[in-house]
Amino acid sequence: MISVDRVVDLTRPIDPDVAMWPGTPAPSVETRVTVEENGFFARLWHLWEHTATHIDAPAHFIAGAPTVESLPLAGLVCPAVVIEVADRCAGKPDYAVTVDDVARFEGANGAVPRGAAALIHTGWDLLHDDRERYMGAEGDLRFPGVGEEAARLLVERRGVVGIGIDTLGIDPGSDTDFSVHRHATLVNGVWNLEGLVNLDQVPATGALLVTGALPLVGGSATPCRVFALIG
């Protein structure tokens, strides 16, 4: 039996005002039937695959790589560590998590365990409703992310199954080459979780991460319900 004392929701609710990558369509919703007129209620949603809290499959950047319905279930329910960098990101929208940040975490908590997810707490989720501070301007994106060297350490030497972050993307907004997507995570079959919230409520170690990913056939990504179980 799993003993759970607390569940922390790490999911950004989806509505038409959610922050989106520039140039991508915002969610839209249309009521098709109502209880009053039809006896039941249902709506039609139109969603970009990369909306709000979502998971990137390798196919997002790697041609011919696995799509979202092929993500191993065992990797969607896994131990999680939270690497705290909010203090270092404060006032620094171009901050990139470094190898030293990982070393600082491991000095206090031990090595990131193989098969875990590494979640990066920048504190940027608190800025979501101030779009200019949350993501910068179109053509000049500004938000923290993970540096390629730190991501490669987590993937290649620690064996994480995924890396998550509470910003619009896993790479810093200023990285137009998407170095982590291309050279660290997706190329190695490791997923990205983007748009997380409430990571400040999850302990550095000891949580179990659950990612409810829709099995969209052929999908590059899918919005998810993500939560942490804390014993």
Kindly give the confidence (pLDDT) of every residue in the chain, 231 residues in length, as a single tens digit, with 9 standing for 90 and above: 567 899 999 999 999 999 999 999 999 999 999 999 999 999 999 999 999 999 999 999 999 999 999 999 999 999 999 999 999 999 999 999 999 999 999 999 999 999 999 999 999 999 999 999 999 988 899 999 999 999 999 999 999 999 999 999 999 999 999 999 999 999 999 999 999 999 999 999 999 999 999 999 999 999 999 999 999
Residue for token pair 């329910």: 77
Instruction: Please give the pLDDT value at position 130.
Output: 96
Task: Answer whether residue 85 is part of any domain.
Answer: yes
The percent helix, strand, coil of the chain (3-state, each to 5) is 25, 30, 45
Q: How many CB atoms are located within 10 Å of the residue 121 CB? A: 22
Structural domains in the chain (count): 1
Residue range(s) defining the domain that contains residue 174 = 6-14+48-230
Q: What is the DSSP letter of 108?
A: H
Task: Answer whether residue 159 is part of any domain.
Answer: yes
CATH of the domain at 94: 3.50.30.50
Please say whether the beta carbons of 27 and 15 come within 8 A: yes
Task: Answer whether residue 63 is part of any domain.
Answer: yes
Residues whose CB falls within 8 Å of the CB of residue 140, separated by 6 or more in sequence, listed in order: none
Task: Answer whether residue 34 is part of any domain.
Answer: no
Rounded to 10 degrees, the C-alpha dihedral 102/163/186/154 comes to 20
List C-alpha distances in Å: 57 to 50, 185, 190, 227. Answer: 10, 10, 8, 19
* Alpha-carbon gap, residue 89 to 124, rounded angstroms: 8
Task: Answer whether residue 92 is part of any domain.
Answer: yes
Task: Answer whether residue 37 is part of any domain.
Answer: no
List C-alpha distances in Å: 110 to 43, 85, 158, 162. Answer: 47, 17, 12, 18
Task: Answer whether residue 22 is part of any domain.
Answer: no
Please say whether the beta carbons of 223 and 26 come within 8 A: no
Task: Answer whether residue 124 is part of any domain.
Answer: yes
Instruction: Please give the pLDDT value at position 140.
Output: 94
* Alpha-carbon gap, residue 26 to 17, rounded angstroms: 7
Instruction: Please give the pLDDT value at position 2.
Output: 64
Q: How many CB atoms are located within 10 Å of the residue 108 CB? A: 10
